[in-house]
Each structure stands twice: as structure tokens, then as C-alpha cells.
Structure 1
């Protein structure tokens, strides 16, 4: 954990490079989100995300996730990723029905994965739904994409844990975090950083939505457990 904290806070450890693309493509998204930015651009783009998150009430997110999960449990198989995305989208005031495209984009969000025209088309649809190809739109799409797999994976891994939702999620983050590593370049060499002990990252790239992700995960977990009783 000490090494992870040191590496994540070390300015000599840089992110894998991203390459631009036409507005409304995966390349455009990568080059316009805080996640893959540095310097002033990172600060500006991260502030767009933190300003959005500041308007979210974690208690509301938990209730909303609980209600959506309960409704889904009553109508068929539960799509955890869809619940995560639709809960956040509702908080952002975005239209319903974005989860399928978000899930498509999430698979190729990181620059070591090659995107195709399928993912580019999904980004184009999302950009249109979120207000056009601007940095603000990229921040919103990035927020949904980064929450999608990680939060759903957290819930999936926590289902076998006992105790209150908060305890189960904390144990899962210690023992089976949904995101176990991240990548940086140091001295020209790709380094894989073990996130054990720092599941939401550390340093300037630490996840700003930890409380929000945990609230959504707790709401889904509560509803899922209730349905299993």
C-alpha cells in the first residue's frame, strides 16, 4: 500500500498516452476527461466532476438505487450496471436509457483497449443526449462510465459478505476490490500498480466519487438482500 500511495502521488509517474479523435468519438472522450488529463486541463476537468458530485445527496442516491433495484427484482433479472448508471443519470438530470451505451463505452474507456466504430457510435449518441460534444458533456459521460463497471462489480463481490451493507462493502474493498490495479509510466516503463489498500486511488487522480459510489452500492445491496429473504 505504501508503494501504491507513493507511486500514485509521484509526478514522475505519468498516465498512458491518449490520442484525440473527432468530436463524439472514444478518442475525443479520452482526451477531454479528467481521468487521462494532466496539469491545468486536469484541474479544470476534475472541477467539472466535483461540482456535479457536490450537488448529489448520497442518501438520495442510496434510496434511488434501492427503489430501482426493488423494481427490477419484481420484473426480472437485475442489471446492476444499468441501475448504477440510471441512478447517476437521474441525479445528473439526464434522460433515461443511457446505460446500454455507457456499458459499451466502458469496455474501451482505457487507452490500452482499441475502440471501434461501434464504441464511437455509442459515444456520439451519449454526447447528443448529454448536451453536445463539450468538456462538460465529457465529464458527465466519464462519470457514468467510470461508475458503471466498478460500482456494479463492488456489489457483485459484496453479495457473499455478511453484516450491514456498509460493513460488507468495506470488507469487499479490502479483500476483493472491483478495480485491483491501475497503470502508470515511470522512467519510460509501464508499471502496474496494485490498489490493495487504496481501492479508490490516491493522490491527484483519486476517485472524487467514493461516497457516492458507496451510497449507490449500499442501496443496491440492501434491496438485493431483501429480495433474497
Structure 2
């Protein structure tokens, strides 16, 4: 999944309005922000297999550090605990931890059985929604639209940058989703990993956007 994860980050702003959208994006997409670095280091592996699934040319071979359930629970505790130690806001920390965990749960819906429960000889899980392109796209866009609706309901633009910045962010996310689904597969794993690192641009954009929007309940 791609759009749906960012939809979680957007929607979480309504539950944790004091947390920057950039931080919420980091939490919701943390596993896929970590994964390309682990690919480049040779810790995890993936195979490019065009035609393996409709719109998804990747066979995930080994990714227990970024995507096993046990590791994800550890990452969720690390991010939420770190935020609590810094900000001392338990509710916000819980939202961040839940956002990290949401990534694995959403991946569980779409992945073929390749998600481990723990590193090592673990059962592999996945409900294989990727076998149906209409179902996959419906899940991506519906969850993204829900998250965006919550985000727009919780915030308003301070200025033109806040108004048009969110339009640009949404447009870019949709373009990336469509490109990932209908575009050509990556040339090799290294190219895939470096292109995935570009997601940090979306995180930086979200931090910038947050400076140009404000929480609606703060209007008074």
C-alpha cells in the first residue's frame, strides 16, 4: 500500500492535533521509510517480478527487521516512547504508536502471504488483495480520502501556502500511486531502493505544510 498509509497520517491529525503532520507521516510510513535503507545495506531483500500481481511487480523475499509483526511492535514502542519522553503527552504517543502498527495491518490486507510474525522461521501472512487491481485501488483511494477528509476537517489554511500546499501534496501522492501501479517496474533493486528514499521529500513537505495550516479548534 502507499496512498492508504499516508491517509492514516493525514487522518491522525484529527486525533493528535499538536503533532506535526510530518511526524505523523513518519509514523504511518515508518516501515517503508526504513525498508529501502535495509535493502541498500543488504539486510533485507526483494525481487522485481513484473506480472507477479496486477499493478505490483515486487516479490518480498526477506524483510523481518522492517515488516515482521514483532519488529513492528518494537518500532511502535520506540517511536511512541521517544515522543512521550520528549513531549510528555501520552495521548499523542499512543496515536503515533498506533500509526506505526496500522502500516502492518494495512499491508496484511493486500500482501500475498509474505509478512512474518517474527524474525526467523515464522508463518507468513497476507490476504492477497493485490490479486485484484480494482479492490487494491479502491482500498487505497477510499482510505486516503477518509484520512484527507479528517485532516481538512481538523485544520485550516493560515495563508495561500497552506491552501495550495495541501493541493500539491495530494496531487503528488496520487501521481506516485498511479505511477507505481501503471508505470514500468524499477530497473533493479538499487534503483527501487533509492526511489523509495524519495519518500522523505513527502515528510519534509508535510512539516513545511504544517507551518502554514492551523488546528481549527485553535481559531478562537
Question: Could you tell me the TM-score, scaled by structure 2's length?
Answer: 0.30
- Going by fraction, where is helix more abundant, 1 or 2? 2
- Going by fraction, where is strand more abundant, 1 or 2? 2
Question: Could you tell me the TM-score, scaled by structure 1's length?
Answer: 0.29
